[in-house]
Structures are given as structure tokens and as C-alpha cells.
Amino acid sequence: MLTYLAKRLAALLPTLLIASFIVFIFIHLIPGDPIYVLLGDQATPEQVEALRREMGLDQPILVQYALWLGRVVQGDFGTSIFFDAPVLSVILDGAETSVLLASITMVWIVVFGVPIGIISATRQGTWVDQFFSGGAMFFASVPTFWLGLYLILVFAAGLGWMPSSGYPSIFEEGGLANLRYLVLPSLALAAPNAALIVRLTRASMLDVAREDYVRTALAKGISPNRVVLKHVFRNALLAVVSAFGFTFVALVSEAVVTETVFSLPGIGRLVVQSILRRDYPVIQGVMLVIVMLYLCINLLVDLAYRWLDPRVRLT
């Protein structure tokens, strides 16, 4: 296991280097002098001179990249123009909201997506299956922001069951009850992703159901429910688990929109606001954090895969 982990980490390194290079070059591709892109128009000559030296702008681009990477590794992601604070701390300020939102969303996705997929697959071709499959395709076609606005209209403005926007920290007044601010956003965010998981679970269940060992199990007289649970689902789960890296990326994408709709103080809204404020160092920092998270999650998915599938574990 440890050698495998080491191997995987080594394979990750080139991807991480290329991805970070893309994030690095982003600042240089924005029209204008990178110095002013990073410092804003109000920069003093002293600041400009200091940053020019720090970035090594008179050096070849790869040297500049190495210098930048060196600073990033030490946790220095640059300085936000708008907040006049380290980018990393600006991102961490939004982390609570985003992490909680993503976690609650993941709970919805697993609780709704996987069981509905199983039910659909075991009732293939019946009206139950058609209802759920059709519903899944419908929700996969709904823009998150539209669903969010709709939920606000019905459950916040109309029925008044839930707050419509904002999110006070659970560490402030209100405590865990503040989580109710995340109910509607997480539902809006979960819907399209749960829909994809329904489709995926259904498809991989049906794939596995064709395997010889399923027929053997049924022929042996094991009850169909047990076969579905022990043989089909266990194996179908592999495909679902390996899709979670992809789900994470989709989630981040849609969280940008969802946080904007519900005015949540998270990282997604930070990105949108930073674009409008031309606060490019923050955008760069968020990209870097997201890509690293994605690679970590994919690594975890691989490890979970080995744990779930003994066949892979042995090789």
C-alpha cells in the first residue's frame, strides 16, 4: 500500500507542475503589465520596484515560475489588491462557507442519488424507472442558478420556511442553527449532480447485472435482493466512487453560481467578485487551491477504489 501511495504521488508531480504552470502563466496572459495586474493601478513606485525584484521579471519565464513556485510552497500566494491582505487568508475566510456547503451537498447527492439509481436499475423499464430516469435527466438540464432562484421564490419569499440569502458563521450567534441558511443552496447545488449520480449508478448497476457471476449467484438460489446488494451494488459502487473526483469539479463550478445566487460569503462568490474587482491575485490563488484539492481528491478516490475492489488491491 505504501509503495503504491509513493508511486501515485510521484505520478502526480508532473501533473501538479503543469497545472501550477498554467495557473502561474494566467497572470501573464491578462492584457497589461503583470506588475500592474498584480498590484492594481494605485501601486506606488516603491511597491512596483519591490515586486519586480521579487518576481524576477528581468529573468527568463521559467526562472520566474520557479521563484513563484518557491513562494507558493511557503504559503505565500501573493497579496489581494482589494483586501490588501494575503491571498491565502482571503481564501481561508471563505473556506468555512464553501466546505460546509459542499459537505451538505455531498450528503444530499449520496442520500438521493445512489438509492434512486439502484431503484431505477432494479425496476428497469417500468414506470418507476421511467419516472426517475426522466426526472434525473430533467434535473441534469436545469441551470443551478435558475433552480436556486426558484427555491428562493417558493421556500423563502413565498412560504418563508428558509432564509433566502447570506450565511452567518456557525461560530457566531445562532451556532449550528445557522446551517439552515445552507439548506436551499445545497439543494440547488445537489440537484444536477445527484441527477448525474442517479444516471451513473443506474448504468453501472445494469452493466454489472450482465456479468456471469450475477447469473451464477441467482442460479445458486440466492435471493434476488441479496444478489442486488452483495454482488451488483458492491461492484457498481466502484464506478460511482471513481466518479466522485469528477463530481467535485462539477460541484466547484456550480458553487460559483450558487454562492452568487444566495449571496453566500464563500470562495465561489469570491471568484466572481474578484473578477469584477480585477483582483487577479485572488483568482490565481483560488485556481491553485482548487486544482490541488482536485488532485488530492482523485488520489483519495484511487485509494478508496483499491480498498473497495480486492482485484485491484492484489495487482
Partner 1 sequence: MRSTLVFWLKPFLARRISLFGLCVLAVIVLAALFAPWIAPYDPLSYDPIARLSPPGPEHLFGTDHYGRDTFSRVVYGARLALMIGLGVVGVALTFGVPIGIVSALFPRVGLVLMRGVDVLMAFPALLLALGLIVILGRGIENAILAVGVVYLTTTVRIVYGVSLKLREEVFVEAAVSLGAGALRIIFRHILPNLVSPLLVQASFVFAFAQLQAASLDFLGLGAPPEIPSWGNALSESRIYITRAPWLLIFPGMMIVLTAFSLNLVGDALRDRLDPRFRDTFASGKKG
For residues 186 and 104, the answer to whether their CB atoms sit within 8 Å is yes
Check binding of 286 to partner 1 (CB under 8 A).
yes
Q: Cα separation of 244 and 275, whole Å?
A: 28
For residues 292 and 90, the answer to whether their CB atoms sit within 8 Å is no
The string of DSSP codes covering 164-176 is: -S----TTSTTGG
Check binding of 283 to partner 1 (CB under 8 A).
yes
43/295 with CB nearer partner 1: 295
- 8-state DSSP, 33: -
Check binding of 287 to partner 1 (CB under 8 A).
yes
137/177 with CB nearer partner 1: 137
Among 87, 256, 270, 282, binds partner 1 (CB under 8 A): 256
Task: Give the x/- contact pattern for partner 1 in 156-175, rule: CB under 8 A.
Answer: -x------------------
3-state secondary structure of 86: strand
287/308 with CB nearer partner 1: 287
Among 4, 8, 26, 131, binds partner 1 (CB under 8 A): 26
Check binding of 264 to partner 1 (CB under 8 A).
no
74/141 with CB nearer partner 1: 141
- Residue identified by cell 456547503 is 101
Task: Give the x/- contact pattern for partner 1 in 289-308, rule: CB under 8 A.
Answer: -xx--xx-------------
Check binding of 237 to partner 1 (CB under 8 A).
no
Q: Cα separation of 258 and 143, whole Å?
A: 10
Check binding of 137 to partner 1 (CB under 8 A).
yes
For residues 22 and 302, the answer to whether their CB atoms sit within 8 Å is no
Check binding of 82 to partner 1 (CB under 8 A).
no
105/254 with CB nearer partner 1: 254
178/232 with CB nearer partner 1: 232
- Residue 58's region, left for phi above 0, alpha for psi from -120 to 50, else beta, is alpha
Check binding of 140 to partner 1 (CB under 8 A).
yes
Q: Cα separation of 209 and 214, whole Å?
A: 6
Q: Cα separation of 244 and 238, whole Å?
A: 10
18/312 with CB nearer partner 1: 18
CB of 143 to partner 1, least distance (A): 5
Q: Cα separation of 200 and 112, whole Å?
A: 13
Check binding of 218 to partner 1 (CB under 8 A).
no
Q: Find the helix packing angle between 127-140 and 183-209, rounded to 10°.
A: 130
Provide the sign of the torsion angle of the four alpha carbons 225, 231, 236, 237, taken in this order.
positive
For residues 184 and 151, the answer to whether their CB atoms sit within 8 Å is yes
**Which residues would be at the binding site for partner 1 (CB under 8 A)?**
14-15, 18-19, 22, 26, 29-31, 124-125, 134, 137-138, 140-146, 149-150, 152-153, 157, 206-207, 209-210, 249-250, 252-254, 256-257, 260, 271-272, 275-276, 280, 283, 286-287, 290-291, 294-295
